Amino acid sequence: MLNAKQSIIIRLLLSEDKENECWIAECLDYDIVAQADGIEEVQEEFIRMFTSKIIIDLTNGVKPLSQVKQAPSELQAMFNTSVQLPPEPIPFPRSSNYDYPADIPPYQIMDRRVHF
């Protein structure tokens, strides 16, 4: 299991689905996807989904994210041709009403890009 000093670094691709009028956030490092109405909302939804997966793994006694594969290689190609957003810390959602387990490893979104 990850210890409290290890940090999970992730890359996130944001894209607008004009046909369905929503935004999609896709993680390249772990095949986790979120959908919401706007670009800010989809990032918040992704954090919620990502954190939920970690909590489920910890609850089941599994190393966090160890059973999640990487996103498909086509997503990496799309990421490489997308516009990089300025670094912006996306806070871990400890401020919510949920009592998160203390052993959730910290994570950081290192690279966010938008695909138009």
How many domains does the chain contain in total?
Answer: 1
Residue 15 lies in a domain: yes
Q: What is the mean pLDDT of residues 54-63?
A: 88
Is residue 39's pLDDT more than 60?
A: yes
Domain extent for 106: 8-115
Residue 3 lies in a domain: no
Cα→Cα distances 1→36, 65, 92, 93, Å: 31, 10, 19, 21
pLDDT cut 70: percent of the chain above it: 78
Is residue 34's pLDDT more than 90?
A: yes
Which structure tokens are listed for 32?
Answer: 């986790």
Residues 63-98 have pLDDT tens digits of 889 999 999 999 989 999 999 987 665 555 554 555
Residue 82 lies in a domain: yes
Residue 1 lies in a domain: no
Residue 61 lies in a domain: yes
pLDDT at 101: 63
pLDDT cut 90: percent of the chain above it: 43
pLDDT at 93: 55
Smallest Cα–Cα separation from 92: which of 44, 27, 60, 58?
44
